[in-house]
Amino acid sequence: MALRVNSENFESEVLKSELPVLADFYSDSCVPCKRLSPIISQLESERSDSLKVVKVNINFDTELAEKYEVQAAPTLIYFKNGEETARLRGAVKKAEIEEILI
Amino acid sequence: MSKMYDTIIIGSGSAGLSAAVYAKRAVLDFIVIEKEYMGTGQIAESGRVDNYLGLYGENGFDLGEKFREHAEALGTEFLESEVISIVKDGNAYKIALSDNSDILTKSIVFATGANPRKLSIKGEEEFSGKGVSYCAVCDGAFYKDKVTAVVGGGDTALEDALLLSKICKKVYLVHRRDEFRANKALQNTVKNTENIELVLNAKPAEIIGDKKVTALKIMQNDEEKTLQLDGVFAAVGTVPNSKLLNGIAELDGNGYVIADETGATSAEGIFAAGDVRTKQLRQVSTAVADGANCIFSIEKYLSNV
């Protein structure tokens, strides 16, 4: 189960994480977010050794959404060593996510 | 020789799922092809559905899930893939999929639905996802205490405006006519909501911004005006996903597949159901009816081929 993060623990959980992190910026009752969710869970269990997955609920954590200029839900941001290396928007397919997880 | 299906249902919205239920009961050999993972079509985007008989007040997403569970309970098989082309092959059709595989079928239920219509103005593409949205439920939360505009005059536009009025400081409702198409109850609520400002007889002209949207230029009664705002939500109706039938079946001027209640199109063996076909009223109830009718038509068609 992916960890919910907020602006308080974002630095320690995401930016300073040893493993690369896939952050799922989602909003409540957003249909594409609901469709994407099971795919994210699959990736999380398939890659538990090499990937950390976190979730940001933008209904509550607007600060993080603003900071990373996220304006569409869902948005996936891939962080490596604290740096954003890729970003995907919308209910993308599993293969498209796998492509950015390098 | 590769397998020949009785029918292939393209699309897993209300029309496609209803067709699946009827096709199972008719013991047809079929699968449902869907572009989206576990899709249920446009109904999923509806906040609350108050006009589907027997399920008063259900939210759209849950209603769609119920439809899907029903089709699954009867053993419907789904295939997540995109149809690239449909080609007539003797008495049958060959459906080419995005993974380069082909499927052969004697008939097709074409239930591909419709997608949100674009505003088709300058800046729309550039700022899509950066202040231009087609889903207030998804993206509304990004505009807390900000100013937004909803463009449109139907149920969706007014529902979006109401939803945003609870989040935003101010919501402009921009509509090209001076009357709304939306239902009267909704209109009354909107008119009584303090932070919704009606901008009537106004057409959007351009979306302006730098990194993000900052303003919407409109033409109101032939006069150019600029609304300073942070987000624009488009709710100007839908366009049918009928491209695949271009040159195969007759479409009307707006791209809807011409078919009556039986679902029969001008292409023998292809039956259209749901929002993609020409009809008076596009609702869940009429989509469900279409799915049923198409399968009934297909049973008759198959007994004659």
The domain limits of chain A are 3-100
Query: CA angle, corner B90, sides to B93 and B23, nearest 5?
Result: 40
Percent of chain B with pLDDT over 90: 83
CB pairs under 8 A between A and B: 67
CATH dotted code for A3-100? 3.40.30.10
The model's confidence at residue A43, banded by pLDDT at 50, 70 and 90, is very high
Q: Is A30 annotated in the active site?
A: yes
Question: What one-letter code names the amino acid at B221?
Answer: N
Q: What is the mean pLDDT of residues B220-244?
A: 95
Closest partner residue to A71 (CB to CB) among B37, B61, B142 is: B142
Contact between B16 and B109 under an 8 Å Cβ cutoff? The reply is: yes
Q: Is the pLDDT of residue A1 over 70?
A: yes
Q: B196-225: per-residue pLDDT in tens?
A: 999 999 999 999 999 899 999 999 999 999
Q: Is A4 annotated in the active site?
A: no
Q: Please tell me the pTM assigned to this model.
A: 0.79
Question: How high is the pLDDT of residue B34?
Answer: 95
- Tell me A11's DSSP state: I
Q: B145-156: per-residue pLDDT in tens?
A: 999 999 999 999
Question: How high is the pLDDT of residue B305?
Answer: 78
Chain B contact set for A32 (CB, 8 A): 135, 138
Give the burial string for B172-184 (b: 16+ CB within 10 Å, else e): bbbbbeeebebee
Which ipTM was obtained for this model?
0.70
Mark yes or no for CB contact B36/A71 under 8 Å: no
Mark yes or no for CB contact B45/A93 under 8 Å: no
| Total Cβ atoms within 10 A of residue B260 | 12
**Residue B103 is encoded by which pair of tokens?**
């499927």
Mark yes or no for CB contact A62/B138 under 8 Å: no
Q: Is the pLDDT of residue B1 over 70?
A: no
Q: Is the pLDDT of residue B45 over 80?
A: no
Q: Which of A13, A17, A20, A30 is catalytic?
A: A30
- Give me the active site residues of B, please: 135, 138-139
For the ranges A24-33, B55-64, B104-113, the maximum mean pLDDT occurs at: B104-113
Percent of chain A with pLDDT over 70: 100
The model's confidence at residue B292, banded by pLDDT at 50, 70 and 90, is very high
What is the residue-averaged pLDDT of chain A?
A: 92
The model's confidence at residue B263, banded by pLDDT at 50, 70 and 90, is very high
- For chain A, the residues whose C-beta falls within 8 A of a C-beta of chain B are 27-35, 38-39, 58-59, 62, 65, 69-74, 89-91, 93-94
Question: How high is the pLDDT of residue A64?
Answer: 92
Mark yes or no for CB contact A28/B45 under 8 Å: no
B76/chain A closest Cα distance in angstroms = 19
What one-character-per-residue DSSP string does A40-97 give?
Answer: HHHHHHHTTTT-EEEEEETTT-HHHHHHTT--SSSEEEEEETTEEEEEEESS--HHHH
